[in-house]
Chain A
Amino acid sequence: MNGSASPPQPHPHPLRRAAQNGLMQVEGWFDSAFGPKLNPLTQLGALGYFYFWIVAATGIYLYIVFETSINGVYDSIEYLTVEQWYLGGIMRSLHRYASDALVITMMLHLLREFVLDRYRSVRWFSWFSGIPILWLAFASGINGYWLVWDQLAQYIAVATFEWMDWLPLFGEPIANNFLTRGSLGDRFFSLLVFLHIALPLFLLFAMWIHLLRISRPRVNPPLALAAGTFAMLFLLALYKPALSHPPADLGMVVERVSLDWFYLGFYPLIEIWSAGWVWLLLVGTSTVLSILPWAPPFKRSSPAVVDAANCNGCTRCFEDCPYGAVVMGPRDDGRPFPSIALVSADLCTACGICVGSCPASTPFRTSTQLVTGIDLPQFTLDKLRKDVDQALARLKGESKVVIFGCDHGNDIGKLASPDVAVFSLPCIAMLPPAFMDYVLTRGHADGIMLAGCRENECFHRLGVEWTELRIGGKRDPYLRDRVPRDRIATAWLAPSEPGELAGRLKAFRDNLMAMKISAAKDGEKEHSHVS
């Protein structure tokens, strides 16, 4: 097979592959309607943070105006909802619906990252730190429902504390606070009210931790998407305001509740099964989720390695790394440069983007062994160049194309042929622009196709963006101006679109042929002119 520079493209488990294809299909529909930049499915995390801010802002207003005594709270909320419907009521409804939307976004985000396999090896940290977010978000939401002190609150509060009392942690059951009329005092209720500040604050802290090992995390959705989703929530708040149940009465049992199934879906389960089983379910699920990053197959590529003789501390790799795995540090080789790039092995996913950003990664160098400033030991630039040279020597035909693809995009192996060479890289942005220059000028290929993940879906987060900017002369290292752009085609496609890729390749090759023919015609014209 042509171009065997890479270790064989990792094949995901068929079930995961099927799920990925399904996900890509759905994302494709959203891409058509929203465009890649506004596609909500590719920025669920950012949407989640946005909903959190809506909840926080509306929550602060509500917190300031509602009365926190056990006898006054219900009426003050009724006032906000009914008489001040245009302000307090809308705030309350926004508060509820944004919280519910947050649950949907979180669960979709979790599912998506799982299906796309972006939680294992070095990326375990982001996944693992998301589990406390789940607990804190649900706890905050459930806690919020207690504060209305209507029948729903009564049911949920009593059920929650009875459920917690199942754990042998407390002496006297906390549920005694809700035993009968008059049991619940202002003091305990104030504690519940206070929790609704503490829990969301912890949640915010957890949200901060969640982002620590990602560089340039996207926490704000684009304005159009934020506006659209806010408008939707606002209109929903107007159409169906959030309302209270009848007031709580501890002397009566709550018979019927209109549950908010996003937050409170587990409560019927506590009654149908038992407190113990629900504990097992939740703790068990959390445990399983937490250890998923370490489930087999356990693959781990060696982290990138810096070569001091070829690193002068220019910081391009530091700027490009999507995981913050490269930092600049003091040198110990005696060269007078201010710093050297240092790789944190526990943060490096071996995506190779740093290799593509290094100015020393030019294949025009010494032919004996290509050494660059930063390289992947299991996938060296030297080997890539050797394989590319071999493949170029073997290419035949009228429109010879080299395809550089990525391990997480389409399977480009199928496209190899006597006039098409294929190379799969860990990430498309590992390809130094100088290589494109080399292949087109020295290798005499007619064209290069760059096949990577779909825009906004890059497995390594920034690869597609960096490649586009390098070619466009907007991000270092620039692709040299003298390299003809009409001989470079990009195909940012999901792995579920092999047909589309094959079609693009064919169109590209036809185009190259046409260019060749018209160039030949021009050449003849000149010839005849001269002679």
Chain B
Amino acid sequence: MSRSLMPGAMKFLGQGAAYLALAVVLGYFSNSPAYIRLAPDTAVIKLSISHGGQHKGECGTRQFANIKETRTTRRALQLCPRERHSVLVEIFLDGERVFSREQPPSGLSSDGPSYFYERIAVPAGRHRLDMRMRDSGRVEGFDYETTQEVELEPARNLAIVFSTPSANFVIK
């Protein structure tokens, strides 16, 4: 009723061939060919900053017609704006600008931090890094600047973060 099977031995040869073919495919592609991601003599700088820009505007004093009638939770005397400025970060490698971005604050009310995360591929070797940040909404100049010399061996992964307590860039 069904088609004729191959004669006995041929059948097993056929099955063996099928299994072997699958094994070869599995064995080979489970770790080959190799993928080379980085050109030789290259290093990577990872910039990861999460920094809240300064709030826009001055804090003002509130006037109350009758403080006694105002709910206690609303009796704060200082009224500060929530919105923050955008943050501008620039990175210079040996005087040449390799990164510049102005990142708006996150959050629906624009009052969250500005997040930066960037991979920058650079040649290996000794470099001077100038890192600058502007967070006050000023038109010219920068609020924070740090300069540092680094020695980058090939395939080094260098991280640049910003430390708010010490108010400068930190290299790890």
Contacts and interface: CB of A to CB of B under 8 A. Distances in A.
Interface stretch (B14-22, B126-134, B139-147): B14-22
B2 A155 contact: no
A36 B2 contact: yes
Interface residues of A, number: 57
Contact of B1 (A40, A233, A492): A492
Contacts of A176: 48, 50, 117
B3 A97 contact: no
Contacts of A172: 50, 113, 115
Contact of A101 (B26, B46, B119): B26
B170 to A, nearest CB: 10
B32 A258 contact: yes
Given A171-B115, A492-B2, A180 B159 contact: yes
A101 B44 CA distance: 36
B22 A101 contact: yes
Nearest to A101: B26
B5 A253 contact: no
Contacts of B157: 180, 250-253
Interface stretch (A120-128, A260-268, A325-333): A260-268
B36 to A, nearest CB: 5
Contact of B11 (A33, A36, A180, A261): A33
Interface in A218-275: 228-229, 231-233, 235-236, 239-240, 242, 250-262, 267-268, 271
Contact of A252 (B29, B31, B113, B155): B155
User: How many residues of B sit at the interface, in one of the four size bands?
Assistant: 35 or more
Contacts of B1: 490, 492
Interface in A85-99: 96-97
Given A253-B43, A254-B37, A179 B155 contact: no
A405 B134 CA distance: 79
Contacts of A257: 34-35, 37
A258 B34 contact: yes
Contacts of B18: 30, 33-34, 40
Given A32-B3, A173-B117, A179-B46, A268 B35 contact: yes
Contacts of A232: 19-20, 22-23
B37 A271 contact: yes
A253 B26 contact: no
A455 interface: yes
Contacts of B34: 256-259
Contacts of B36: 255-256
Contacts, number: 137
Q: Is the interface of A mostly helix, strand, loop or mixed?
A: helix
B31 A180 contact: no
Given A155-B37, A256-B35, A492-B1, A33 B14 contact: yes
Q: Is the interface of B mostly helix, strand, loop or mixed?
A: mixed
A31 B23 contact: no
A162 interface: yes
Contact of A32 (B14, B23, B30, B155): B14
Interface in A138-193: 155, 162, 165, 171-173, 175-176, 179-181
Contact of B156 (A29, A252, A260): A252
B112 A171 contact: yes
A511 B31 CA distance: 58
A119 B164 CA distance: 57
A35 interface: yes
A175 B117 contact: yes
Contacts of A258: 31-32, 34-35
Contacts of B27: 97, 236, 239-240
A261 B161 contact: no
B26 A104 contact: yes
B76 interface: no
A488 to B, nearest CB: 11
Contacts of A104: 22, 25-26
Contacts of A271: 37
A117 interface: no
B30 A97 contact: yes
Interface in B65-111: 106
Contact of B26 (A97, A180, A251): A97
A438 to B, nearest CB: 23
Contact of B155 (A40, A175, A255): A255
B15 to A, nearest CB: 5
Contacts of A97: 26-27, 30
Contacts of A240: 27
B115 A255 contact: no
B6 A32 contact: yes
A221 to B, nearest CB: 13
B41 to A, nearest CB: 11
A78 interface: no
Nearest to A268: B35
Contacts of A180: 46, 157, 159, 172
Nearest to A173: B117
B38 interface: yes
Contacts of B156: 251-253
A173 B20 CA distance: 45
Query: 5 tightest CB-CB pairs across the interface, nearest first?
Result: A33-B14, A258-B31, A180-B159, A232-B19, A180-B172
Given A233-B26, A262-B29, 14 more contacts: A32-B11, A33-B15, A100-B29, A171-B113, A171-B115, A181-B172, A232-B22, A252-B157, A253-B37, A253-B38, A255-B38, A255-B155, A258-B35, A271-B37
Interface of A: 28-36, 40, 96-97, 100-101, 104, 155, 162, 165, 171-173, 175-176, 179-181, 228-229, 231-233, 235-236, 239-240, 242, 250-262, 267-268, 271, 454-455, 490, 492, 500
8 contacts: A32-B6, A33-B15, A96-B30, A236-B23, A239-B27, A253-B44, A258-B32, A259-B34
